[in-house]
Structure 1
Amino acid sequence: MNVKIIADSACDLPYSFLKEKNILFLPLMIHLDENDYEDFVTIEPKQVYDAMRNGKVPKTSQANPLKIKELFTKLAEENVPSIYIAFSSQLSGTYQTAMMIRNEVLEQYPDFQLTIIDSKCASLGLGLIVKKAIELAEQNIPYSQLVDMISTYCAHMEHIFTVDDLEFLARGGRLSKTSAFVGGLLNIKPLLHVEDGKLIPIEKIRGRKKVYKRMLELMEERGEDLQNQIIGISHGDDEQAALELKALIEEHFGCKHFFITEIGGAIGAHAGPGTLALFFLNKQMEQ
């Protein structure tokens, strides 16, 4: 592979997978109990969820600019063509910071090929794109074509998810207070999606079974050739819910290819325990 793929921890791919595939990694930061942690590296997602269940409010921040500069400079010195697929610019400042640092590095190394893609995706929606980017890069596709293909995948990735409490998203600024429209009514589950990189509420539904049913309906409305895709499911420390949703998708659509993972601490600190998210393409991509 003659192109390096860079991801940040908002992709929610397991850290072991990132290392196995030699994906260069920029962890977002988590502040908890007066300590700073690197997402997935020095703090596990469950630690974040357990803290939230105990009433603590973890804070997050973008990837460390010094680490971004260090990574980009190293790649530039080695003159390795690279592509950084970044967490949505609507949800984090990491993309803007990376662009600024890229420009600084290019002043010193003008021949360095580094493209930063604003994925406008999050969690395993971003993760599936990173996973596909590695597969494409291994095919030695020309650099400009590879960038175009990854950007196209980003544009067609659907995110449908539910959270136990929208207050977590509103508190962290990932959702406007006016959009956090669900009150404290018992067993009301908000359903949201990502539109142009932003979190947008769709509707509110009473009860988990009805949430599952509506997620399948939206999947049927928006998806294309679902049986031949990898379907992504991520969860906020609720693997049982992820497996229940997987079984329903298998039964309803005949899908056989799944990637299930836990939502990392950086996104989980805003979405909260019990979050369940579904990812798929709304258009079949050419390989």
Structure 2
Amino acid sequence: MRMGLAIDASCDLPQAFIKEHDIAVMPIAVHVDKDTFKDDRNPAEIQRFLDQKMGSRSHSASTEPCSVEDVQKLFLEKLVLEKDCVFCLTITATRSPINDHVIKASFAVLKHYRDVRDQTTMPGPFLMRVIDTRTLFAGAAPAIVEATRLFKSGEAPAAIRERLTYVANNSYGYMLPRDLYYLRARAKTKGDRSVGLFSAVMGSALDIKPLLRGYRGETAPVGKVRGFEHGAETLFDYVCKRVHAGLLVPVVCISYGGDLADVPKLPGFEALKAACEECKVELMIAPMSITGMVNVGEGALTVGFAAEEHVVEF
């Protein structure tokens, strides 16, 4: 059985990994004033967004996740002809409509795929499974990486779905924002009251930043740090402890809304790298999606891993 993966563009993974595993990306259109960006994890498009310094004015941007019709088109014109089973993984359904769009599209895909496959004499059924990773950005990486491992091991679709659901329910996505004013302005634009004006003003004045966690569909602050550099060190140190405690999937993914060359320079990165090497855990560094930068601001840092449920220790 030919297995395949499709992800939404907000799932942060290195482009090399996406190409290596032939992962289809469901794009998001981002409109900033008169500029439009196709967010499909193309490094050149991400760099174009950064080069044009959109960060200061993109809090008012509008985003258009891949529509139901576009998902249907991707599958019926391409994926049902190339694969026999495709798992679609998305960021949490509580923060994006893409999961709902994919589920709705799946009904039409499963209804019409036989007509498409019959025209090319492709025998057998086609399966489409949708998994909500229940987290954000780099937090989606563990389930996606695990899917590729399960494909290689020849696991059956039912077993893969069960395992990915378990990993998703135990995936953690932590975020350290750089600009609280931006985060508050974006939240206000979207009608999200999770970042109040008082908190933004006081946080910016004192350089206090929240550490946010996306976990099981909920996004909430779990700690506070003074300064971005100290925050990165605190976050990396915490992830080191989780790596040593044991992960469900041997991977840690870091995503960053800026020049990736800056990531290894952050305090605590070398210690995290050493911990991953010691525990044989792959450390990935990926650009944050354009959609991610629009929603949380340029320069934000996210880290994702999957582990058994535990008490947050910040």
Normalising by structure 1, report the TM-score: 0.85
- Once residues 25 and 229 of structure 2 are traced to their aligned partners in structure 1, the CA distance between those partners, rounded to angstroms, is 37
Indicate whether 1:246 and 2:269 are aligned.
Answer: yes
- Once residues 34 and 134 of structure 1 are traced to their aligned partners in structure 2, the CA distance between those partners, rounded to angstroms, is 39
Q: Does the CA contact (< 8 Å) of 1:27 and 1:41 recur in 2? A: no
**SS at the partner of 2:200?**
coil
- Once residues 16 and 269 of structure 2 are traced to their aligned partners in structure 1, the CA distance between those partners, rounded to angstroms, is 22
Q: Does the CA contact (< 8 Å) of 2:171 and 2:215 recur in 1? A: no
The CA deviation at 1:142 is: 0.6
The CA deviation at 1:28 is: 1.5
Q: Does the CA contact (< 8 Å) of 2:140 and 2:304 recur in 1? A: no
The CA deviation at 1:258 is: 0.8
Q: What does residue 108 of structure 2 align with?
A: 104
- Once residues 159 and 12 of structure 1 are traced to their aligned partners in structure 2, the CA distance between those partners, rounded to angstroms, is 11
Distance 1:129 1:105, change over 3 A: same
Give the unaligned 5+ runs of structure 1: none
Give the structure with higher Rg (CA): 2
Distance 1:112 1:280, change over 3 A: same
Indicate whether 1:37 and 2:62 are aligned.
Answer: no
More helix by share: 2
When the two structures are aligned, how many residues end up with a matched partner?
284
- Once residues 228 and 142 of structure 1 are traced to their aligned partners in structure 2, the CA distance between those partners, rounded to angstroms, is 19
Counterpart amino acid of residue 237 in structure 1: G
The CA deviation string for residues 76-126 of structure 1, in whole angstroms up to 9 with x for no partner, is 466721111112111110111111111123333585311111111222221
**SS at the partner of 1:138?**
helix
**SS at the partner of 2:254?**
strand
| CA RMSD, 1 decimal | 3.0
Q: What does residue 265 of structure 1 align with?
A: 290
**SS at the partner of 1:44?**
helix
Indicate whether 1:236 and 2:236 are aligned.
Answer: no
Normalising by structure 2, report the TM-score: 0.78
Show the 5 A alignment for 1:138-287: 138-173=152-187, 176-180=192-196, 181-183=199-201, 184-216=204-236, 218-219=238-239, 224-225=245-246, 229-243=250-264, 244=266, 245-250=268-273, 254=278, 257-283=282-308
Give the unaligned 5+ runs of structure 2: 115-124, 310-314
Q: What does residue 84 of structure 1 align with?
A: 88
Q: What does residue 46 of structure 1 align with?
A: 47
Q: Does the CA contact (< 8 Å) of 1:182 and 1:188 recur in 2? A: no
Identity of aligned residues (%): 20
Q: What does residue 73 of structure 1 align with?
A: 76
